[in-house]
Chains A and B, each alone.
Chain A
Amino acid sequence: METESSLPPTRLLALDGQHALVESARRGDPSAHRALYDAHVDRVYRLTYRLSGREDMARDLTQDTFVRAFAGLDGYRGDCAFGTWLHTIAVSVTLNELKRRKRQRAREAPLDEALTIARTGPSHDPLLRDRLMDAVNALPEGCRAVFLMHDSEGLTHDEIGAALGISAGTSKAQLSRARAKLRIALAGYEQEWKS
């Protein structure tokens, strides 16, 4: 876990700056809101995009993340980096929205779902990358989030653990599990990924 005392002086200064900005934002300073937004929007957007896979959803989810964060600044106690706190909100907002859409799809479009499942068969999808995406989408949501956050987005296990509320060790274990499940799912393509 990242602690302030273990950080280099430049990083500590940056964190001090963030805390000052958060304080100003709490007092309702719009320029502080904008500064915090500018500092973090890219990473939040990238994360929501990775998890949702859709530009329009990523845009809405990023917006929702910041609206919730700014409305709930009093709940940020400063015991972790502001960016980590934002990631926690972004992951929660995104996974809840994905769950909601999944439930809605299950309720409203059983035919579409059946077609999606049918399309995942190797004979219908010769592209290994598409098959990989299907396999990633079939992972349990927490496992999938860990995989995309680590292997696709490059977050550390400490950052992932903080965002998902799990330990770094659990994050590592889930990543191994995700990779193993993907390997099983892509077993039919072994020649291709070994070449």
Chain B
Amino acid sequence: MIDDARDRFETVYDFGDPDVQAVPPADPAFEAWLRRAAPSLNAPGTTPVETIWAGIHAAQRSAAAAATDRITGVRPLRRTRWVMPVTIAATLLVGVALDRFVIVQSGLRSASSPTVVARRAEPAPTVDSTARSDLYRLAAVQTLTQAEALLTAYRAGGAGTRNDAAARQLGGWAREVLGSTRLLIDSPAGSDAQLRPLLNDIELVLVQIVRLSGTPLDSTDRALIDRALRDRDLLPRIRTAVPAGAADATIASDD
């Protein structure tokens, strides 16, 4: 019963110092005024019943999907176990190849005409460099999208991560996204001053999830990961970093 645990949370919520002497005797006039004024403090309007329900329903769907290895809008990872790392690795390789091609081409041009060197110093991007940066951007968007889906599933998971199968599932998924994240950190995309801190933070949280995988997460484990997520403001930062619609485009390109 709650009676049995009476006052056990008094240390959880801050009630201030129990300075009894600071409490003056009640003033009926003030209390009457306060009773009239209090209902207007933070007075709520109409409850947005359907909006909230839609959010609850979506969270429940995500949790259920995570538990059965299926996230709405994202292809099942079990069937695409190697697709994501291979896609990202291939993207990065193409990027590096393009990079080298551009360097060789500019070297040839500079050997034949010294004026080319001056042109190369101009900020106008070539078609090749644009394509290369697009590829890195695509790889970054794919990784960030997967990280967001994983962390959303983890957060919505609740009870879903409390059994062995779900914990292993989440750990396996996190391991794959962690691999992609590390690849990205080591690529030229990782030298982006805005992207790198985000990737480092994602890596840190994923490492925690991977480290705890294989066993059902207890409340302490979850609290640790939740705190890391909250302190780093990770999900909002990922959502800000991924351009609107980019995730859909990426997923569509996978299919």
Contact = CB atoms under 8 A, between A and B. Distances in A.
A, B from the same assembly: yes
Interface of A: 1, 33-34, 37-38, 41-42, 45-46, 49-53, 55, 58-60, 62-63, 66-68, 70-72, 74, 79-80, 84, 95, 100, 104, 129, 132-133, 136, 139-143, 145, 147-148, 151-152, 154, 161-162, 164-167, 170, 174, 176-177, 179-184, 186, 193-194
Contact of B26 (A50, A80, A180): A180
Contact of B52 (A59, A142, A165): A59
Interface in B14-42: 14-16, 22-24, 26-27, 29-31, 33-35, 37-42
Given A167-B7, A170-B7, A50 B41 contact: yes
A180 B24 contact: yes
9 contacts: A42-B47, A50-B44, A152-B39, A152-B43, A165-B2, A166-B7, A174-B15, A176-B26, A193-B29
B60 interface: yes
Contacts of B137: none
B60 A70 contact: yes
A129 B233 CA distance: 34
Given A55-B44, A84-B2, 11 more contacts: A1-B3, A58-B44, A72-B159, A79-B2, A141-B15, A147-B38, A148-B42, A152-B41, A154-B39, A166-B7, A179-B34
B9 A165 contact: yes
Contacts, number: 155
- Mostly helix, strand, loop or mixed at chain A's interface? helix
A154 B44 CA distance: 13
A63 B13 contact: no
Contact of B29 (A104, A179, A194): A194
A180 B30 CA distance: 9
Interface residues of B, number: 51
Contact of A66 (B13, B29, B56): B56
Contacts of B47: 41-42, 45-46, 62
A72 B38 contact: no
Interface of B: 1-3, 5-10, 12-16, 22-24, 26-27, 29-31, 33-35, 37-45, 47-49, 51-53, 55-56, 59-60, 63, 156, 158-160, 230, 233
Contacts of B38: 147-148, 151-152
B52 to A, nearest CB: 5
B42 A71 contact: no
A166 B6 contact: yes
Closest 5 pairs (CB-CB, A-B): A165-B9, A140-B16, A49-B44, A142-B13, A151-B38
Contacts of A140: 14-16
Contacts of B159: 71-72, 74
A63 B30 contact: no
A41 B14 contact: no
A72 B219 CA distance: 13
